[in-house]
């Protein structure tokens, strides 16, 4: 999760045919959700004895089950399941820095570092086939280990770094080619 200057967490959510910026932060009165900058008092609790969640926003309540797959929240209500694409701020920056246009993408890809850090380990070798979302390397930044993942399926064309190497923001890490 990425934090923003307001002290909360920012997400980019596709809902009702448009992208919305959703920020979640802890306010004096409890949890606050901002949707496109507009505040909404909110609370999320678990339903005792189940895997269900109860969301209260603006005095309206929804009970649902949630799971995450392929960059989307799958929300299961009593009568339907809804797929909601969600991207956190860090994931969005990584996608934009690597030239990704969305979940699938097409064409060759240059994966670049979105922050300075040290390459802890390489998880692939030149020529390896990779799937979209597969971890390629571990980058340590600000004492946190971050998995750098493939933005799309392809093959590793070249590795521009080695384990233990320090990298700057924007440094080329891995080149993928579509097969």
> Tell me, what's the pLDDT at 4?
47
> Tell me, what's the pLDDT at 98?
59
> Tell me, what's the pLDDT at 101?
52
Does residue 143 lie within any of the structural domains?
A: yes
Residues making up the chain, counted from first to last:
179
From 54, 88, 122, give the residue that closes a domain.
Answer: 88
Do 118 and 165 reside in the same domain of the chain?
yes
Does residue 4 lie within any of the structural domains?
A: no
- Of the candidates 43, 39, 45, which has an alpha carbon nearest to the alpha carbon of residue 21? 39
**Looking up tokens 């934009």, which residue turns up?**
96
For 40-66, b/e burial (b = at least 16 CB within 10 A) is eebeeeeeeeeeeeebeeeeeeeebee
* Cα 79 → chain centroid: 28
Does residue 2 lie within any of the structural domains?
A: no
- Alpha-carbon span 90 to 19, nearest angstrom: 17
Do 106 and 164 reside in the same domain of the chain?
yes
CATH number at residue 115: 2.40.50.100
| Residues whose CB is less than 8 angstroms from the CB of residue 142 and which lie 6 or more positions away in sequence, other chains included | 115, 117
CATH number at residue 16: 3.30.700.30
Do 66 and 107 reside in the same domain of the chain?
no
Do 57 and 128 reside in the same domain of the chain?
no
Do 84 and 102 reside in the same domain of the chain?
no
Do 65 and 122 reside in the same domain of the chain?
no
Do 78 and 113 reside in the same domain of the chain?
no
Do 40 and 84 reside in the same domain of the chain?
yes
Determine the structural domain holding residue 14 and report its residue range. 9-88
| Total number of domains in the chain | 2
Kindly give the confidence (pLDDT) of every residue in the chain, 179 residues in length, as a single tens digit, with 9 standing for 90 and above.
Answer: 444 445 678 898 988 778 899 998 887 777 788 899 998 888 888 989 888 988 888 888 989 888 888 778 888 887 788 888 888 888 777 777 655 554 444 567 888 887 889 999 999 999 999 988 888 999 888 788 888 888 778 999 999 999 999 999 888 999 988 77
């Amino acid at each position: 999760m990425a934090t923003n200057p307001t002290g909360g967490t920012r997400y980019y959510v596709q809902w009702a045919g448009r992208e919305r910026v959703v920020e979640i932060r802890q306010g004096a009165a409890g949890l606050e959700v901002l949707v496109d900058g507009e505040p909404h008092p909110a609370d999320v609790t678990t339903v005792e004895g189940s895997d269900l969640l109860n969301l209260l926003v603006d005095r309206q309540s929804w009970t649902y089950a949630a799971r995450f797959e392929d960059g989307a929240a799958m929300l299961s209500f009593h009568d339907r399941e809804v797929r909601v694409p969600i991207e956190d701020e860090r994931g969005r920056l990584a996608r934009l820095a690597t030239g990704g246009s969305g979940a699938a993408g097409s064409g060759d890809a240059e994966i670049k570092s979105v922050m300075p850090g040290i390459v802890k380990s390489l998880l692939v070798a030149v020529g390896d086939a990779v799937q979209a979302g597969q971890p390629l390397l571990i980058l340590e930044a600000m004492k946190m280990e971050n998995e750098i993942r493939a933005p799309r399926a392809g093959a590793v064309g070249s590795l521009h770094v080695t384990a233990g190497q320090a990298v700057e923001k924007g440094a080329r890490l891995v080149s993928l080619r579509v097969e």
